[in-house]
Amino acid sequence: MQQVLSLALPFFGLILLGFLCGKLVRYPEAGLQWMNFFIVYIALPCLFFKLVLAAPFEQLSNWRFVIATTAATGLMFLLAFTVGMVATKGNIRASAVQAVAGAYANIGYMGPGLTLAALGSNAVVPTALIFVFDNMLHFSAIPFLMALGSKSSLNFGETVLYVVKRVATHPFNISIAAAVLAASVGFQPPQAVDTIMIYLKNAAAPCALFTLGVTVALRPFQGSSLELPWLLAIKLLLHPLAAWIIVSAVGDFGREWTLTAVLMAALPPALNVFVIANQYQVYVERASSAILAGTALSVFTVTGLLYLIAENVVPYRFPFIWP
């Protein structure tokens, strides 16, 4: 309980701090543009690079585990996207953000702290693998769907070229690819560069959370929506269940690896749901609501899961798959 509160409450508290500042100090929203640029193009890529580079490279090739966990996330993405298409009556761009809200767990900020605290050092590699390939899935699918839902008059060839360019040049994908390449050759940044990257990595979460709170404060709050309970049920309940079943069916990866997959999938919607919504200027207020509500509810759902893990109440492999 203390581990969950020590991670979830500061996460929520920084959002609340930004919200209060946005209500009390009425600066124009245009002032957030440079902060958003810093978050997307500078701070978050450094966070991703440092996390991936820390994992042992020789263990980054467990493809069966990667396929199982990515498949679970992909299924939730498709399910949440379907919910979004029904709720928005075919708005692909808004549905894409809803798909991320239902499938993209907070694996960057909360993931490593929770998995290492609950499962020990053996959770480092599976945590890194899930982080890398879940991010690759989301930041490849999103530019494609946003281009598909665009009203621009691009032909098929131009659309494909646009999507490939957006995927290849997205700062998150570039940082992950650079980290994998650096790990493969054993490269470590010079001390001065590494120190700067550590500063930027440490700035990513507080800046992003504070900016989220300010943005919510400056925009009219639209409250809950009909699709929000469904998206949160997919994210907080179905996603960890799907990870448990699929990973168990693929093979016996051991207790730490299997439960790491379940715990990572159980985390609330990532802050990057808001970052993506804000970047494309679609579904921004609803994305903020999904993060706030999901984070609050996860205090109870993740706490319950941690209790089950600590007390070994259930087997680490899904019993109907492997008795």
Contact 295, 133 (CB under 8 A): no
pTM (2 d.p.): 0.79
Q: Rounded CA gap, 31 and 28, in Å?
A: 6
What's 236's DSSP letter?
A: I
2-311 has which CATH code?
1.20.1530.20
Check if the beta carbon of residue 116 is closer than 8 Å to that of residue 127. yes
Q: Who's near 68: CB < 8 A, 6+ residues apart?
A: 243, 246, 247, 249, 250, 251, 261
Q: What is the pLDDT of residue 76?
A: 97
What ranges do the domains of the chain cover? 2-311
Q: What is the pLDDT of residue 230?
A: 95
Q: Round to whole Å and give the CA distance between 108 and 74.
A: 18
- Average pLDDT by stretches of 10, the chain with 323 residues: 65 83 85 84 86 75 92 96 92 93 86 80 83 85 83 65 73 82 88 94 84 75 77 96 95 93 92 83 84 84 86 84 57
Q: What is residue 77's predicted lDDT score, i.e. its pLDDT?
A: 97
d(CA 273, CA 298): 16
Shortest CA distance to 211 belongs to which of 9, 24, 52, 34?
34
Rg of the Cα atoms in the chain: 19
Q: Given this model, what pLDDT does residue 113 score? A: 73
Give pLDDT, residue 322.
Answer: 56
Residue-level pLDDT at 108: 75
